[in-house]
Amino acid sequence: MSDKRLTFKKRLHIIKHHYRGKKMAPAFNALHTFLYTPDETTHSGSHVRAADDLKRTMNTVITALIPVLLFSMFNAGYQHYAAIDAANGVARELSVFGNFLTWDNFWIGIIKVLPLVIVSYGVGLLVEFIFAVIKGHEVEEGYLVTGMLVPLIVPIDTPLWMLAVAVIFGVIIGKEVFGGTGMNILNPALTIRAFLFFAYPTWMSGDKVWVYEAVDRAGGPDAISGETILGYLAQNNASEYSYSLSDMFFGFIPGSVGETSTFLILLGGLFLIFSKIASWRIMLSAVIGALVMGLMFNGIVDQGWIGETSKFYGLMSFPFWQHLIVGGLAFGIVYMATDPVTGSQTNRGKWFYGFFIGFMSVMIRVFNPAYPEGVFLAILLMNVFAPTIDHYVIRGNVKRRLKRMKNANVLPTDSEGEKKKLQVETA
Amino acid sequence: MSKDIKITKGMDIKLVGAAEQNTSKAALSNVYAINLSDFHGITPKMLVKEGGEVKVGEALFYNKNKEDMLFVSPVSGELVEIERGARRRILKLKILADKEQESLANVILDVEKASKDDVKAYLLKTGCWPFIIQRPYSIIADPDDNPKAIFISGYATAPLVADLDYVLQGKEKELQAAITALGKLTPGKVHVSVGKSSKSPLAGLTGIELHKVSGPHPAGLVGTHINKIDPINKGEVVWTVSPQDLVIIGEALLTGKYNPQRIIALVGSSVKKPQYYTTKIGTEIATFLYASGVNEENFRVINGDVLTGSKSRQDGYLGHYNNTVTCIPEGDDYEFFGWNKPVFNKISATRALTFSWLQPNKKYDLDTNTNGEHRAFVVTGMYEEVFPMDIFPLQLLKACMIQDLDEMEQLGLYEVAPEDFALTEFVCVSKQPHQKIIREGLDLLQKEIG
């Protein structure tokens, strides 16, 4: 076995040198480095390096997403059958091993969720490879996470061609035109989501798209509901859904493919914080931001400033902390707001950046009449403002340095050692 | 009066192969070499022709831009080779040692009574000046400057480096002479930092401001001390000297002779018996390397420590500023699925299936593999964890990369040296060459602003 592996390793090494400098080199190297960490050694500076590379970083995020993906595959089926039961007036009691972790449910996950994952990765990586070959740079790992996020933030019935078009748009316009991984301004996964939302709004919102087959069956005798909790709330129909708090927290509710299980997202978030891959500052401040905004809306309702007839009443009166366990807020905070490239890059900036993501998410949720979900718009908005936040944080450091310079009074310039007053240039 | 400095942000890289506290005398070297790359930014003008004879302490060349700054020979013998590179740039001078060593004797300077200009002239003449490094720019100090303070770090925290308390034992007299002389060169203070619980001979000196430092690396780097004690502002200059070079300066002041002798640590996992050796600047590394024995064939010899040293070879020579020679295995091999399998035998700043956090005191045998490929900057917040200065490391690196002079100045490039970015380079997941970026930034700033 080990002998065979040695020769395989050697053979790849020879091919790598054969392709060096040629057009296809990045494509081969991408596959090669996937199998083997390269034989590169340090040349300048530090002679030893830490064990982590960008692949490991990305892989850690994917690891944190796997439980969410698996859950979503079961939930796809569960929501489908639950909606059929509800339409037929059959009472349904959730039992995790009885009617949730079943093969029937998982099968719907396989035929509906898995293709989304495959298309997302296939199309996205193809675009990345093509760009790497054209521009002659290595294939960078950014898409490994994006490709996993995309299928988890779309409605289950999203047609595959639509997803493919959106992925091509998102990777090219959202990332490659800026120079590739590490250079983009907007989160590529959310760019893809936003493209879908604005290009195909009927497929991305409404009360049909969140449960498998709800669209196909609409209008027929076997019609089923595909509405989310936020959808009910936005129409002031809070009484029409019967999900318990534990359903919401554990994720047995309709919604975008992977956004429902706050519990697993929380576990993933804790894992990312523990492994020091994602910023706890962003996560914590975003949660605080969402709670603050939610509290403010609750306060408005408590003060009686809006009545039950107001179209905002349903969402405004929704208990403030429950915003965290419905919709995509938790998923967005843990996996998307923490993207280091598009988020704030300074530690202090991260507090502001995160806070406003939470704050704006709930605000957009309440005030957006067409689509009662705000987290992806809030993150995209804050992506745009992140450099501005960082700018002011960094100016603070620069100002401190300038102030220190003003207070210094010795400027050693002449060889006689005479003290000279420092002339501070003000920019 | 002593002030304590406590560093919390940083990281100790614990490696196998620390030197045993046992000093042997290294074999005498036949050939000594001076590597011009040790003197960053110096254009040499030769004073001795190929084939010429020199004594210990006799000038070999001077700095083209400062003609009285002499660079002297560590040995008496014949200058056998001037190795040149592209555009006839001098790379290396090789001197074949005589059997009988003869030193150039200078008139001894009375340090107590000497004036500032006397001290300066004496250090320039005896070849001790190049031991004084200035910030900004991290180059050999300009004798015409008037530094606001002089900083000396007696606390070595870099991985495997020579223990300064051990190698400075019994050198109080030389250290004191050097400190007294250096004290005349600045209107400010001479700041000396030692480890919190150390018994450094530096602590008992007079004419210094003593600081006690504790915490993980880079707590021992002089740049960290400057930032915490008296940060450099635009237009200011500070000088730094490493304590073992103080000994050479002190001896030159006391005896009138330049004696480039130094106790160095031979360390690293490729060395069979890591220990200390008494040797001289410019000596062949082979004179002590094989006395300790090596564990493998394919290893790298580093002049200095693993974080900031320069790549040398088994037939290389001891650098001008180094008190440590490190040998670690080369990592020029592939690793199957190295990017996603759990890692137990390497150090990591994260816990992403890397388990060095489980055993904080374990010593590791690291090789020179980069453990990944060069990528764009992606991850944020990681450098700040190991960077104790009041500076934004990522933003400063980016300013250097885009060569934005205003931004480089404002973000504090004046205050740093490449070595301050060694740890951020170590933890960088994008495997960016931080020290090189900072070095190029400093060179650019010096060229454009002066």
Say if B183 falls within a structural domain.
yes
DSSP state for residue B19 in the 8-state scheme:
P
Give percent of chain A with pLDDT exceeding 90. Answer: 52
**Token pair 């034989």 is at which residue?**
A39
Say if B360 falls within a structural domain.
no
State chain A's mean pLDDT as an integer.
87
pLDDT, residue A417, reads: 41
As a whole number of angstroms, the distance between CA B379 and CA A61 comes to 12
pLDDT value at A424 more than 80: no
Distance from CA of B343 to the nearest CA of A (A): 8
Residue B248 belongs to a domain with what CATH number? 3.40.50
Do the chains contact at A277 and B352, CB–CB below 8 Å?
A: yes
Question: First CA to last CA across chain B, in angstroms?
Answer: 36
Say if B311 falls within a structural domain.
no
Across the interface, which of B334, B374, B376 has its CB nearest the CB of A37? B334
Does one domain contain both B49 and B167? no
Distance from CA of A143 to the nearest CA of B (A): 12
Residue type at B118?
Answer: D
**Token pair 């003008």 is at which residue?**
B45
pLDDT, residue A409, reads: 58
Chain A residues touching residue B386 (CB < 8 angstroms): none
CB of A4 within 8 Å of a chain B CB? The answer is no
Residue A98 neighbours by CB under 8 Å, 6+ apart: none
Say if B77 falls within a structural domain.
yes
pLDDT (tens digit per residue) in A281-321? 999 999 999 999 999 999 999 988 888 888 888 888 888 99
Quick count: other Cβ atoms within 10 Å of Cβ B336?
Answer: 11
pLDDT (tens digit per residue) in A318-371? 889 999 998 899 999 999 999 999 999 999 999 999 999 999 999 999 888 677
Q: How confident is the model at residue A415 (pLDDT cuts 50, 70, 90)?
A: very low
pLDDT (tens digit per residue) in B309-367? 999 999 999 999 999 999 999 988 888 888 888 888 899 989 888 888 888 889 999 99
Domain boundary among B255, B285, B300: B255
Say if B351 falls within a structural domain.
no
Domain boundary among B226, B255, B284: B255
As a whole number of angstroms, the distance between CA A160 and CA A168 comes to 12
Phi, psi (5° rounding) for residue B290? -80, -15
Distance from CA of B218 to the nearest CA of A (A): 14
Does one domain contain both B59 and B124? no
- The residue of chain A nearest to residue B333, with distances taken between CA atoms, is A39
Domain count, chain B: 3
**Average pLDDT of A139-144?**
88
As a whole number of angstroms, the distance between CA B364 and CA B355 comes to 12
Q: How confident is the model at residue A222 (pLDDT cuts 50, 70, 90)?
A: confident
State chain B's mean pLDDT as an integer.
92
Does one domain contain both B48 and B134? no
- Burial group, residue A260, by CB count within 10 angstroms (0-12, 13-18, 19+): buried
Does one domain contain both B127 and B209? yes
Does one domain contain both B163 and B247? yes
Across the interface, which of B376, B394, B427 has its CB nearest the CB of A183? B376
**Token pair 């303070």 is at which residue?**
B149
Q: Give ∠ CA A83-A88-A94 in degrees, rounded to 5.
A: 50
**Token pair 């080779």 is at which residue?**
B81
Question: First CA to last CA across chain A, in angstroms?
Answer: 67
Q: Max CA-CA distance within chain A?
A: 99
CB of B378 within 8 Å of a chain A CB? The answer is yes
pLDDT, residue A240, reads: 77
CB of A235 within 8 Å of a chain B CB? The answer is no
Q: Give ∠ CA B351-B354-B355 in degrees, rounded to 5.
A: 90
Residue B304 neighbours by CB under 8 Å, 6+ apart: B310, B319, B321, B322, B324, B325, B326
Say if B331 falls within a structural domain.
no
Best A12, A15, A48 residue to mutate vs chain B (most B CBs within 10 Å) = A48
Cis check for the bond before B218: say yes or no (omega within 30 of 0).
yes
CB of B321 within 8 Å of a chain A CB? The answer is no
Instruction: Write out residues 339-358 of A within 8 Å (CB-CB) of B.
Output: 340-341, 343-347, 350
Do the chains contact at A347 and B300, CB–CB below 8 Å?
A: no
Identify whether the C-beta of residue B127 lies closer than 8 Å to the C-beta of residue B61: no
Least confident interval from A132-136, B133-137, B304-308, B382-386: A132-136
Does one domain contain both B89 and B133? no
Does one domain contain both B115 and B251? yes
Chain B residues touching residue A54 (CB < 8 angstroms): 372-373, 375, 378-379, 429-430
CB of B13 within 8 Å of a chain A CB? The answer is yes
Residue type at B303?
Answer: N
Q: Provide the residue range defining the domain that includes B63.
A: 31-97
Does one domain contain both B66 and B163? no
Instruction: Write out residues 50-69 of A within 8 Å (CB-CB) of B.
Output: 50-57, 59-60, 63
Across the interface, which of B187, B425, B434 has its CB nearest the CB of A417? B187
Q: Is the dihedral angle over the CA atoms B238, B243, B244, B248 positive or is it negative?
A: positive
Does one domain contain both B190 and B113? yes
pLDDT value at A416 more than 50: no
As a whole number of angstroms, the distance between CA B445 and CA B450 comes to 7
Chain A residues touching residue B148 (CB < 8 angstroms): 410, 412
Across the interface, which of B306, B378, B395 has its CB nearest the CB of A47? B306
Chain A residues touching residue B9 (CB < 8 angstroms): none
Identify whether the C-beta of residue A156 lies closer than 8 Å to the C-beta of residue A257: yes
Strand, coil or helix: what is A10? helix
Strand, coil or helix: what is B374? coil
DSSP B323-354: SEEEEEE---S-EETTTTS-BSSS--SS-SSB
Identify whether the C-beta of residue A184 lies closer than 8 Å to the C-beta of residue A192: no
Chain A residues touching residue B334 (CB < 8 angstroms): 9, 12-13, 36-39
pLDDT, residue A422, reads: 44
As a whole number of angstroms, the distance between CA B412 and CA B408 comes to 6
CB of A142 within 8 Å of a chain B CB? The answer is yes
pLDDT value at B1 more than 70: no
Identify whether the C-beta of residue A208 lies closer than 8 Å to the C-beta of residue A215: yes
Output the CA–CA distances (angstroms, integers) from residue B446 to B137, B409, B413, B414, B440, in the order listed: 7, 11, 11, 10, 10
- Burial group, residue A367, by CB count within 10 angstroms (0-12, 13-18, 19+): middle
ipTM summary value: 0.89
As a whole number of angstroms, the distance between CA A272 and CA B353 comes to 11
Strand pairing category for B335-336 and B139-140: unpaired
Instruction: Write out residues 269-328 of A within 8 Å (CB-CB) of B.
Output: 274-277, 279, 281
Q: How far is CA A337 from the centre of its chain?
A: 6
Q: How many secondary structure helices (H) and strands (E) does chain B include?
A: 10, 21
Least confident interval from A208-222, A404-418, B26-40, B341-355: A404-418
Do the chains contact at A412 and B431, CB–CB below 8 Å?
A: no
The residue with greater pLDDT, B406 or A217, is: B406
- The residue of chain B nearest to residue A29, with distances taken between CA atoms, is B373
Say if B72 falls within a structural domain.
yes
pLDDT, residue A414, reads: 44
As a whole number of angstroms, the distance between CA A364 and CA A374 comes to 5
Quick count: other Cβ atoms within 10 Å of Cβ B448?
Answer: 10
Chain B residues touching residue A34 (CB < 8 angstroms): 339
Instruction: Write out residues 59-88 of B within 8 Å (CB-CB) of A.
Output: none
- Picking from A280, A292, A425, A270, the residue whose alpha carbon sits closest to that of residue A361 is A292
As a whole number of angstroms, the distance between CA B165 and CA B286 comes to 26
pLDDT (tens digit per residue) in A18-63? 888 788 888 888 888 888 888 888 888 899 999 998 999 999 999 9
Say if B44 falls within a structural domain.
yes
Do the chains contact at A47 and B380, CB–CB below 8 Å?
A: no
pLDDT, residue A272, reads: 95
Chain A residues touching residue B376 (CB < 8 angstroms): 140, 179-183
Do the chains contact at A42 and B370, CB–CB below 8 Å?
A: yes
CB of B427 within 8 Å of a chain A CB? The answer is yes
Give kind and range of the element (H or E) at residue B72. Answer: strand B66-72
- Burial group, residue A308, by CB count within 10 angstroms (0-12, 13-18, 19+): exposed
Identify whether the C-beta of residue B317 lies closer than 8 Å to the C-beta of residue B283: yes
Quick count: other Cβ atoms within 10 Å of Cβ B333?
Answer: 16
Distance from CA of B32 to the nearest CA of A (A): 24
Residue A95 neighbours by CB under 8 Å, 6+ apart: none
Chain B residues touching residue A55 (CB < 8 angstroms): 339-340, 372
Residue B92 belongs to a domain with what CATH number? 2.40.50
Does one domain contain both B154 and B6? yes
Does one domain contain both B112 and B90? no
Instruction: Write out residues 216-255 of B within 8 Å (CB-CB) of A.
Output: 231, 233-237
pLDDT, residue B283, reads: 95
**Average pLDDT of B288-292?**
92
Identify whether the C-beta of residue B146 lies closer than 8 Å to the C-beta of residue A413: yes
Chain A residues touching residue B370 (CB < 8 angstroms): 38, 40-42, 49, 53
Distance from CA of B367 to the nearest CA of A (A): 6
Do the chains contact at A279 and B347, CB–CB below 8 Å?
A: no
Instruction: Write out residues 379-398 of B within 8 Å (CB-CB) of A.
Output: 379-382, 384, 390-392, 394-395
pLDDT (tens digit per residue) in A66-78? 999 999 999 999 9
CB of A98 within 8 Å of a chain B CB? The answer is no
Do the chains contact at A41 and B380, CB–CB below 8 Å?
A: no
Count of A–B CB contacts within 8 Å?
A: 261
Does one domain contain both B155 and B6? yes
Output the CA–CA distances (angstroms, integers) from residue A135 to A30, A32, A176, in the order listed: 14, 19, 10
- The residue of chain B nearest to residue A394, with distances taken between CA atoms, is B392
Chain B residues touching residue A405 (CB < 8 angstroms): 233-235
As a whole number of angstroms, the distance between CA A210 and CA A205 comes to 8
Domain boundary among B46, B75, B97: B97
As a whole number of angstroms, the distance between CA A399 and CA A410 comes to 19
Strand, coil or helix: what is B59? strand
**Token pair 């102030």 is at which residue?**
A403
Do the chains contact at B378 and A405, CB–CB below 8 Å?
A: no
As a whole number of angstroms, the distance between CA A244 and CA A233 comes to 15
pLDDT value at A374 more than 70: yes
